[in-house]
Structure 1
Amino acid sequence: MFAGLGVLGAVPAAAQPARPEAMCSLSGELDELSGLAADGENWYAINDGGTSLRIFVLGPDCAVRRTIENPTDPYDVEDLALAADGTLWLGDTGDNRKRRETVALHAVAPDGTAELYRLRYPDGAHDAEALLLDRSGTPYLVTKNVLGASDVYRPAEPLASPGPTPLEKVGSLQFMPTDTPGGPVGRAGSVLVTGGASTADGSVFALRTYTDAYLYPAPDGDLVAALRRLPGRVPLPDEVQGEAIAFAPDGSLISASEGVGTPVRVVRDAAALVSPIPSGGAATTAAPEAAAEPGDASGSGNADSQGVPTLPGIAIAVTVAAVIVFGISRLRRR
């Protein structure tokens, strides 16, 4: 188990990430963008929710080249990941009201055929918007929680279709509030996990909030070990509702927000900001101040034990009502 954004040693100075560069603007069809993936030729994008599985295949100019569709009616799709074999995995894991008995993954082939894998948490319902695939293709879900830890789960057994396959909790993360502007709920949005991504070789993993991305080095492809390390923070300022993130094959970080005509932005060579790991030490990163203090591995206890200082914790609590109102206002079938 791991907890907090583990600070394992001193972090030397490192180059700061470049500001995101706007590449193009999304069409009106992608007004609720929630997930992104990329290969050497295309970007793949999904909207939040929906009544069928629909993946938009975009060019680098944001133009929609085609769509991949399957009539399966999901509950609340929130993220997208691209496997090494070209399968697109949709994280049907949204649950704002925390009432789902199971969540799901949809494995969609390029021809639109899809396989359903239901999943069950070991400890009740959770809202999750981030999906990660490790080098072996194992999926991980990261929950979204304004006051508590963001818990990390993976299948406890080989995936079965339709399932459900039980999940196991493998750890917790806690993010400190930042001053990066953006998001729909003020500073509280800087601790809410809204998306995930991995490089094509599985050597760097990223989790994003509404305002920032956190990059974790995984030279051996071990995602759980990577999440124990001090991440590099890449600010993604001024995204109205930033939920989508992906890595391009060259290691650039791609991000975008919900909203009509929002830009797709790129941080060049972002993966290179997370340096190799010194023997027995922590990773060196571009923004060490983003790390929280380690908390207890169970994710229980008060806010201080989880790495959230008391005053920021109170500030976050004040915004909970706004978060709840915002979430409910966006519900369709949840």
Structure 2
Amino acid sequence: MLLLGATVLGLVASGSTAARADEPVTVCAIDDPRLAELSGLTVHEDRWYAVNDGGSRIEVFVLDRECQVRDVIVSPTDPYDVEDLAVAPDGTLWLGDTGDNRKQRQTVALHAVSPQGGSVLYRLTYPDGPHDAEALLLDRAGKPYIVTKSSMGQSAVYTPRGELTSPGPTPLEQVGTLGFSTTDTPGGPVGTVGTMAVTGAASTADGSVLALRTYTDAYLYPAPDGDVVAALRRPPIRIPLPGEQQGEAIAFTDDGTLLSASEGIGSPVRAVSGATARVGDATVSATPNPPADNGGDGGGTTTRFEAEAGADGASVGVEAGGEPEQDGKGMQTLPGILLAMTIAGLAMLGISRARR
């Protein structure tokens, strides 16, 4: 594993800067019943591309900017659980077939789909057993990064170890871990737990800004050199996305607007104009967070760094920022999380059973 200094990635999102922005504005609504379980969205030139959660064949829906389906790119390949979508500079669409709510898959997959409908399957294996993941990033060179989903707010980041081979499997390696804390943004299907669960990802066309989203918030990271690992170590800008029923889709347009959308027929696609410019304004002097064993303060944020097990098998953790984080109602984060997890358990089970 590639360690970042002496640590893996460790930025807790609650220590991020909340963007000073208006609430997202509705652009249009997706009424097509074929996209009732919208889970991935990306933009290439003047077209929007969207994928559904799951499905028995590959289907990528081509939308205009009024949310109307203009075409469907189809491949006969039967995926297991498609959760996210990204586009390479050459227009190739990459589908993240990485959903695994019950954590039982021996392999996950990426599907590289051409605009004409041809597809190539790449199977992948985790080094440490099954994970559920709903977020896929591509760097400037087209290298994929998978970010896992966790109700406890600890998301691992994986990338292929070496070149992708078809059909594979190609082994993955873990390059870091991100920690997310609860926020007070309303929305999502499972309450407070959903504010920490990563459900989607996106990058700008030039790879200079990355985004991860939960059911309720988006986190934007500056990547001036296109380095995904370095970007995820920097303090992000948090943009609240309140009121989304089950928000999983996120994308950037060419002018730096952030788009977000939720599952559900008639759910709106919403826009935050100038989102990427706010990242530049807020992080112009930001540097990657110092490693935990250097005693850094996490870039001035309340941050928890977690190192991978060292040679002696010990795990190292350093907490910066003093007292435990509290939510808007004064409840300490850990008790709040445990209570929310108890309440949300049945809801998460219902979502799991509803998916393949």
TM > 0.5 fold call: yes
Aligned pair 1:293/2:303, yes or no? yes
The equivalent residue for 1:4 is: 10
CA distance in 2, matches of 1:49, 1:176: 28
Structure 1 residue 316, shift from structure 2 partner: 1.8
Q: Are positions 1:316 and 2:337 aligned together? A: yes
- Name the SS for the 2:100 alignment partner: coil
Gaps of 5+ in 2: 290-297, 327-331
Equivalent of residue 22 in structure 1, options 23, 26, 29: 26
Q: Which stretch of the first structure deviates more once superposed, 142-151 or 250-259?
A: 142-151
Letter of the 2:250 partner, please give it: I
Which runs of 5 or more structure 1 residues have no equivalent in the other structure?
A: none
* Paired position in structure 1 for 2:122: 117
Q: 1:234 aligns with which of 239, 254, 260?
A: 239
Partner Cα separation in structure 1 for residue 343 and residue 74 of structure 2: 35
Give the structure 2 partner of residue 133 of structure 1. 138
84 and 51 in structure 1: CA distance in 2 versus 1, 3 angstrom threshold:
same
Is 2:302 the counterpart of 1:281? Answer: no
Superposed displacement of residue 149, structure 1: 1.3
**Distance (whole Å) between structure 2 residues aligned to residue 274 and residue 183 of structure 1:** 25
Give the whole-Å Cα distance in 2 for the aligned partners of 1:290 and 1:67. 47
Match for residue 178 of structure 1? 183
Contact 1:4 / 1:175 at 8 angstroms: preserved in 2? no
Report the Cα offset of residue 157 of structure 1.
1.2
Tell me, in whole angstroms, the C-alpha distance in 1 between the residues paired with 2:188 and 2:19.
Answer: 26
Contact 1:5/1:173 (CA < 8 Å) preserved in 2?
Answer: yes
Work out whether residues 147 and 317 of structure 1, in 8 Å CA contact, stay in contact via their aligned partners in 2. Answer: no
Residues 87-96 or 141-150, more deviating = 141-150
8 A Cα contact 1:231 1:291, kept in partner: no
Q: What is the CA RMSD across the aligned residues, in angstroms? A: 2.8
Tell me the CA shift for residue 96 of structure 1: 0.6
Give the Cα–Cα distance (whole angstroms) in 2 for the partners of residues 174 and 259 of structure 1.
28
Q: d(CA) in 2 for partners of 1:54 and 1:198?
A: 22
Q: Is the 8 A contact 2:153 2:196 kept in 1?
A: no
**2:189 aligns to what SS in structure 1?**
coil
1:275-297 Cα deviation digits (max 9, x unpaired): 275567369xxxx9996513212
2:198 matched to which residue of 1? 193
The change in CA–CA distance for 1:30 and 1:289 in structure 2 (over 3 A counts) is farther
Shift in Å, 1:40: 2.5
Stretch moving more, 308-317 or 192-201 = 308-317
Q: Deviation per CA, 1:108-143, whole angstroms, max 9, x where unpaired?
A: 000111000000000011000000001110000000
- Specify whether residues 109 and 211 from structure 1 end up closer, same or farther in structure 2 by C-alpha distance, changes over 3 A only: same
Specify the alignment match of 1:146 in structure 2.
Answer: 151
Between 1:243-252 and 1:273-282, the stretch displaced more is 273-282
Q: Is the 8 A contact 1:76 1:95 kept in 2?
A: yes
Residues 1:211 and 2:211 aligned together: no
2:165 is the alignment partner of 1:160: yes
Q: 1:101 to 1:116 in 2, by over 3 A?
A: same
Higher relative contact order (CA 8 A, sep 6+): 1
2:259 and 2:278 map into 1 onto residues whose CA distance is: 15
Q: Secondary structure at the match of 1:319?
A: helix
Question: What is the match of residue 107 of structure 2?
Answer: 102
Q: TM-score, normalised by structure 2?
A: 0.85
Match in the other structure for 1:329: 350
SS of 2:165 mapped into structure 1? coil
Aligned mates of 2:29, 2:155 — CA distance in 1:
31
1:292–1:83 Cα change, 3 Å: farther
Shift of the alpha carbon at 1:314? 2.4
- What percentage of aligned pairs have identical amino acids? 56
Aligned-partner Cα distance in 2 for 1:15–1:257? 21
Question: In 1, Cα distance between the equivalents of 2:344 and 2:145?
Answer: 25
Give the Cα separation in 2 of the matches to 1:235 and 1:175: 14
Structure 1 residues 57 and 293: alpha-carbon distance in aligned structure 2, compared to 1, 3 A threshold: same
Distance in structure 2 (CA, Å) of the matches to 1:14 and 1:141:
25
Q: Deviations over 1:21-75 (max 9, x none)?
A: 1011102221100000012211100110011100110000001001001111110
For residues 24 and 300 of structure 2, the distance between their equivalents in structure 1, rounded to whole angstroms, comes to 18
Give the aligned residue type for 1:16. Answer: R
Q: Which moved more, 1:312-321 or 1:199-208?
A: 312-321
Cα drift, residue 170 of structure 1? 0.4
Q: Could you tell me which residue of structure 2 aligns to residue 79 of structure 1?
A: 84
SS in 2 for 1:274: helix
